[in-house]
């Protein structure tokens, strides 16, 4: 390890990373645990897989991840998407997985499975999603970078999309993450410093259907993995710092094929009525601790009331002014918190717009 126990010794590691792999490939299997966190383990493959179908099912100890009891602890991970590995390079890959129980049913924390069914059942609507992932970078002590210990920085104002020392912090991590996502094949469309110091945002999408959830989860894994090398912690807490500071969200942009066509505004307005009817249901899956963020202040709506408006960042759902002017486009659901599960977010939006599916039989 380096003199900082939280960071790797890059020079020592580099010579091992260059070693030949004799035609074999390292596959990093990634899954979501019982706390909405990420886990991973590495599998050696005898050759480069041509498709996701070439990747074997694997398993792990679910009693150590909050996903199974100790007396029946095996949980199976089934590959669902793979990406180029920007950490190990070469033919090595990152593999997003679903979790399944030994009886052949989805693990109770496998929210992807039902979301994928909903996307498949409604694929004729060509639903696009674009999510804006906000997060905060913390030091090893758990305090945001750039904040004076035991105190507060200058008030919000100069930090959003800022540049220069004292205005932005940890840009090296942000730049590394952006390039890593591009290398992996994730549709990262941008990044910017956010309103609170040490708070950042990146955007993934537009992606159609279940692809958005897969890509956002892998992008989160990469953010954690890269921050690990810089000795930083990533926080997705909706209200990382109390007081007069912006919270952290996962604004969700949604557009169906009908919404993008001429006259699409009527489909957007129809969606608003449906979203209002199920506001409580949505809030249940829009992130833990979201009530601390959604106070009606700091560019949020009230957690208890559904509202929508054109160019209104204080509403539950915002319709961009350009879309209102053109009469078509998309809407932005501003309610999801930064720690929410993108599978649950996109799944319930599709369910609300087009109806639930019958229970699946196994």
Q: C-alpha distances in angstroms, 27 versus 48, 57, 106, 277?
A: 9, 12, 22, 44
CA–CA separation, 296 and 118 (whole Å):
32
Q: How many of the other CB atoms lie within 10 Å of CB of 320?
A: 15
CB contact set of 210 (below 8 Å; sequence gap of 6+) = 112, 115, 116, 119, 343, 346
pLDDT (tens digit, 0 to 9) for every residue of the chain, 362 residues total?
345 555 557 778 888 999 999 999 999 999 999 999 999 999 999 999 999 999 999 999 999 999 999 999 999 999 999 999 999 999 999 999 999 999 999 999 999 999 999 999 999 999 999 999 999 999 988 899 989 988 889 999 999 999 999 999 999 999 999 999 999 999 999 999 999 999 999 999 999 999 999 999 999 999 999 999 999 999 999 999 988 999 999 999 999 999 999 999 999 999 999 999 999 999 999 999 999 999 988 889 999 999 999 999 999 999 999 999 999 999 999 999 999 999 999 999 999 999 999 989 88
- DSSP-assigned letter for residue 165: B
CB contact set of 337 (below 8 Å; sequence gap of 6+) = 238, 247, 248, 249, 250, 286, 287, 288, 289, 290, 293, 294
Q: What is the reported pTM?
A: 0.96
Provide the percentage of residues in the chain whose pLDDT is more than 90.
89
- DSSP-assigned letter for residue 73: -
On whether the CB atoms of residues 343 and 335 are closer than 8 A, the answer is: no
CA–CA separation, 231 and 173 (whole Å):
10
DSSP secondary structure string, 233-273? EEE--SSSS-SSS---BEEEEEE-HHHHSTTTHHHHHHHHH
């Amino acid at each position: 390890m380096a003199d900082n126990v939280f960071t790797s010794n890059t020079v020592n590691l580099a010579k091992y990373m260059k070693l030949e792999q004799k035609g074999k490939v390292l596959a990093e299997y990634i899954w979501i645990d019982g706390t909405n966190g990420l886990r991973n383990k590495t599998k050696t493959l005898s050759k480069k897989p041509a498709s996701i179908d070439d990747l074997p099912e694997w398993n792990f100890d679910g009693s150590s991840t909050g996903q199974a009891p100790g007396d029946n602890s095996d949980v199976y991970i089934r590959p669902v998407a793979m990406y180029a590995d920007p950490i190990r390079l070469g033919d090595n890959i990152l593999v997003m997985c679903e979790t399944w129980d030994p009886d052949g049913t989805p693990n109770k924390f496998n929210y992807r499975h039902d979301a994928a069914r909903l996307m498949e059942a409604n694929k004729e609507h060509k639903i696009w999603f674009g999510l804006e992932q906000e997060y905060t970078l913390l030091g090893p002590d758990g305090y945001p970078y750039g904040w004076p210990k035991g105190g507060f920085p200058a008030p919000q104002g100069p930090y959003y999309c800022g540049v220069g020392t004292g205005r932005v912090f940890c840009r090296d991590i942000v730049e590394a993450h952006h390039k890593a996502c591009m290398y992996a094949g994730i549709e990262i469309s941008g990044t910017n410093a956010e309103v609170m110091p040490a708070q950042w945002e990146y955007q993934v999408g537009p992606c159609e259907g279940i692809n958005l959830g897969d890509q956002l989860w892998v992008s989160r894994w990469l953010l954690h993995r890269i921050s690990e090398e810089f000795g930083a912690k990533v926080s997705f807490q909706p209200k990382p710092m109390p007081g007069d500071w912006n919270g952290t969200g996962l604004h969700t942009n949604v557009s169906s094929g009908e919404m993008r066509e001429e006259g699409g505004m009527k489909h957007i307005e129809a969606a608003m009525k449906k979203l209002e009817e199920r506001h409580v249901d949505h809030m249940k899956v829009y992130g833990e601790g979201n009530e601390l963020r959604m106070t009606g202040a700091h560019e949020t709506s009230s957690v208890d009331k559904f509202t929508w408006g054109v160019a209104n960042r204080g509403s539950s759902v915002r319709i961009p002014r350009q879309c209102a002017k053109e009469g078509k486009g998309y809407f932005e659901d501003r309610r999801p918190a930064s720690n929410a599960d993108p599978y649950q977010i996109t799944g319930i939006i599709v369910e609300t717009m087009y109806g639930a599916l019958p229970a699946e039989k196994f």
